[in-house]
């Protein structure tokens, strides 16, 4: 891993999360305009663009920040790495999360402007229902499990396509269409379009995403204990061997679980 400063890494997370929300919201607007009478086709178009875009964005910013793009991924990285001092530090986490949230809001504003809408339009789509909250628990738990299972088994090169494929599939197999990301959830509240979520629905969605993150992290701890698998990196892209890391010493950015 390189020695990128915390400011550079936070900027990469801001830009990456912004691009992700731009992809989600922008493709949703385009889908609604191109297929105005077929909600299923709209969802398919939105899901395909998001899945492909997410994989590319992780590859884009991963070499700088690790490509988390999601507060729950960063928080689980910090939590799982506390004992061995190998995850994000508390200082890193405190920089990553605000950057991700601000990026998410900025991404929604950018998408609105690109499609000729006001910069900010408060979403009106209510998503307050128990089955949707359960969908967010499942979606987030699965995302955390996919990411950290690959990381802990030394298969980090597969994370970008795997995460993109998982989110694309989870659009369809979860009732909530798989937000699975607090920063993206907040950002989508700023666009009253196909992908929007009413501000009043955001707190519960984020709360159940946190529950899902805990469930996913618990599964990872049981199924992939430290020492039971080849060492991997918490970055979502492959950035060097353990031997190289050992020669460089502890880094000030995401490190192996």
Instruction: Return the domain boundaries, the chain.
Output: 6-238
CB–CB of 233/151 below 8 Å? yes
DSSP assigned state of 236: S
pTM, entire model: 0.87
Q: Transcribe 38-95 into DSSP letters.
A: -HHHHHHHHHHHHHHHHHHHHHHHHHHH----SHHHHHHHHHHHTTTT-S--HHHHHH
Strand ranges (E), 100-218: none
Average pLDDT of the segment spanning 198-212: 98
How does residue 1 score in pLDDT terms, banded at 50, 70 and 90?
very low
How does residue 148 score in pLDDT terms, banded at 50, 70 and 90?
very high
How does residue 237 score in pLDDT terms, banded at 50, 70 and 90?
low
CA gap 46, 206 in Å, rounded: 21
User: Left, alpha or beta for 116 (phi > 0: left; psi -120 to 50: alpha)?
Assistant: left
How does residue 4 score in pLDDT terms, banded at 50, 70 and 90?
confident
Query: Using one digit for the tens of pLDDT, what is the confidence trace for 154-178?
Result: 999 999 999 999 999 999 999 999 9
Cα–Cα distances (Å) from 198 to 18, 131, 142, 189, in that order, read 19, 17, 24, 6
Q: With 60 as the cut, is the pLDDT of residue 220 above it?
A: yes
How does residue 247 score in pLDDT terms, banded at 50, 70 and 90?
very low
Better-predicted residue by pLDDT, 235 or 132: 132
**Per-residue model confidence (pLDDT) at position 226:** 77
Average pLDDT of the segment spanning 192-209: 98
Q: How many CA atoms lie within 13 A of 77 on its CB side?
A: 33
Query: Using one digit for the tens of pLDDT, what is the confidence trace for 12-65?
Result: 999 999 999 999 999 999 999 999 999 999 999 999 999 999 999 999 999 999
**Per-residue model confidence (pLDDT) at position 83:** 74
Q: With 50 as the cut, is the pLDDT of residue 252 above it?
A: no
Average pLDDT across the chain, whole number: 89
**Within the chain, how many helices (H) and strands (E) appear?**
9, 0
Written out in words, the top-level CATH class of the domain with range 6-238 is mainly alpha
Average pLDDT of the segment spanning 125-154: 97
**Per-residue model confidence (pLDDT) at position 82:** 84
Cα–Cα distances (Å) from 157 to 62, 78, 140, 235, in that order, read 11, 21, 21, 10
CB–CB of 195/35 below 8 Å? no
Query: Using one digit for the tens of pLDDT, what is the confidence trace for 127-136?
Result: 999 999 999 9
Share of the chain above pLDDT 90, in %: 83
CA gap 167, 181 in Å, rounded: 11
**Per-residue model confidence (pLDDT) at position 233:** 43
């Amino acid at each position: 891993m390189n020695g990128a400063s915390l400011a550079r890494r936070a900027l990469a997370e801001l830009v990456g999360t912004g691009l992700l929300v731009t992809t989600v919201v922008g493709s949703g607007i385009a889908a609604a305009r191109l297929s105005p009478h077929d909600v299923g086709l709209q969802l398919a178009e939105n899901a395909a663009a998001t899945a492909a875009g997410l994989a590319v964005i992780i590859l884009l910013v991963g070499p700088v920040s690790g490509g988390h793009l999601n507060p729950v991924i960063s928080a689980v990285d910090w939590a799982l790495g506390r004992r061995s001092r190998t995850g994000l530090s508390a200082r890193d986490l405190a920089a990553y999360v605000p950057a991700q949230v601000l990026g998410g809001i900025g991404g929604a504003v950018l998408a609105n402007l690109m499609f000729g809408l006001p910069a900010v339009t408060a979403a009106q789509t209510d998503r307050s229902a128990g089955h949707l909250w359960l969908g967010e628990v499942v979606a987030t738990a699965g995302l955390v499990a996919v990411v950290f299972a690959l990381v802990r088994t030394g298969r980090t090169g597969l994370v970008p396509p795997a995460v993109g494929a998982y989110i694309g599939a989870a659009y369809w197999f979860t009732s909530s269409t798989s937000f699975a990301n607090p920063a993206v959830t907040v950002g989508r509240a700023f666009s009253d379009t196909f992908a929007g979520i009413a501000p009043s629905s955001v707190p519960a969605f984020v709360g159940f995403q946190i529950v899902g993150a805990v469930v996913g992290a618990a599964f990872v701890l049981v199924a992939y204990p430290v020492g039971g698998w080849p060492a991997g990196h918490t970055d979502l892209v492959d950035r060097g061997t353990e031997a190289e890391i050992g020669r460089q010493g502890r880094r000030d950015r995401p490190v192996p679980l």
